[in-house]
Amino acid sequence: MPEKIPYWRLSGFYFFHFAFLGAFTPYWGLYLKSLNFSALQIGISMSVLQGMRIFAPNLWGWQADRTGKRMGIVRFAALFSLIAYLGVFFAKDFLWLFSVMLLLSFFWSASLPLVEATTLSHLKGSLEKYGMIRSWGSIGFIIAVVMLGQVLDHLPVSSLLLAILGFMIGILFFSGRIPEAASPPHETDSMPIWKILGRKEVIALFASCLMMAAAHGPYYTFYSIYLVDHGYMKSSIGLLWALGVVCEIAVFFLMPRIMESFSLKSILAFSLACAVLRFALIGWGVNLLSLIIFAQVLHAATFGAHHAAAMAAIHHFFRGRHQAKGQSFYASLAYGVGGTLGALGGGYAWGAYGPEITFSLSALAALIGLLWLLLKFRLSPC
């Protein structure tokens, strides 16, 4: 790895960013349940982190492309998201925690799209090197989810709060260590961003990614609760989460070879097809450990391969001064709108129809995304 690439600084940020998600995503719902929140309240609370991505990344992305100071904004956002998070230690009622998460999410959602754009600028779009760096995020997720699964079998679920605080301090530290990266000029620099966003293939890409994120919404919100209700220990749940991310890491390293053999459209379509199968298995096969294990292996496709292919497609369409805005729109539309719809819809469906129907709706969302992609998406020249 050339010295000019800040490999370990970027890797450290990804490690702590996804360690935060490894602590928050599987276990925050369990913490809220321990506070006697209803399924709908849990769905609303868990949707805040995704919902804020609808608006905030675009504000930060436009500012970053205007000033050229991506990492300056990331450091500012990391500091104030940490300050906002301290509010969880002062009250436990729904409105207070919702307000804390709303403020935290506004700042926290700024970081990843800008760091992704910075990383690709440092690497000049090299997917192979991107996978090596991004895999440290997956390692951070695994360590957090397995460690906390073991801890929470023996300590109160409120122990989660301190672990998350530690990971946020790590995010702040490494955000201060990553240097800025210049975006090389591109022939699309003079093109209005709305012209790129209005292209049929870009709309199809974002729409299919939105449906994939929506399909994952109930999984990220209720998967751990679902397994606990069916007798799984928290340590076993942590291992199941970790299994999915181990498979994700393998895919990140294999993606350069995969992309030599298959088109981006084929990879995205296969990932969506795997999501249809995965969420049907989770919904109806929870009592068979072998099916749940296989469903977690499919995370290699439904997140790992899908995310890497989506990043490559976005980097293809959004270059030069539009790079940070492209990443921000992706975060807003896919993870923001899609994740929020999935979490809120999942919260309602969980209470009204039960987990089996909820995960069946996840499978249906992935199927809609697959059909949309097959009919509308093509990787035309920029």
DSSP result, 282-293: HHH-TT-HHHHH
The answer to whether residue 382 is domain-embedded is: no
- pLDDT value of position 3: 43
354: left (phi over 0), alpha (psi -120 to 50) or beta: left
- pLDDT value of position 187: 56
C-beta of residue 214 within 8 angstroms of C-beta of residue 345: yes
- pLDDT value of position 186: 55
The answer to whether residue 354 is domain-embedded is: yes
Tokens of 244: 């999915």
pLDDT one digit per residue (tens) for the chain, 382 residues: 444 788 899 999 999 999 999 999 889 999 999 999 998 899 888 888 877 878 887 788 778 777 778 899 999 999 999 999 999 999 899 999 999 999 999 998 888 888 988 888 888 756 667 878 888 998 999 999 999 989 998 999 999 999 999 999 999 999 999 998 776 665 555 667 778 888 889 999 999 999 999 999 999 889 999 999 999 998 899 999 999 999 988 998 888 889 889 999 999 999 999 999 999 999 999 999 999 999 999 999 999 999 989 988 888 888 767 777 787 788 888 888 898 899 889 989 999 999 999 999 999 999 999 999 999 888 755 4
The answer to whether residue 81 is domain-embedded is: yes
The answer to whether residue 3 is domain-embedded is: no
The CA R_g of the chain, rounded to the nearest whole Å, is: 19
CA distance 247 to 153: 25
- Nearest CA among 110, 234, 219 for reference residue 160: 234
The pLDDT tens digits for 35-85 are 999 988 998 888 888 778 788 877 887 787 777 788 999 999 999 999 999
Tell me how far apart the terminal alpha carbons of the chain are, to the nearest angstrom: 29
Q: What is the pTM of this model?
A: 0.79
- Nearest CA among 217, 221, 215, 205 for reference residue 329: 205
352: left (phi over 0), alpha (psi -120 to 50) or beta: alpha
CA distance 313 to 162: 38
313: left (phi over 0), alpha (psi -120 to 50) or beta: alpha
Tokens of 294: 């296989």
The answer to whether residue 5 is domain-embedded is: no
HSE (CB half, 13 Å, CA atoms) of 262? Answer: 16
- Nearest CA among 145, 153, 181 for reference residue 69: 181
List the CATH number of the domain containing 76: 1.20.1250.20
- pLDDT value of position 331: 81
CA distance 335 to 337: 6
Domain count, the chain: 1
- The parent domain of residue 50 ranges over 11-179+188-376
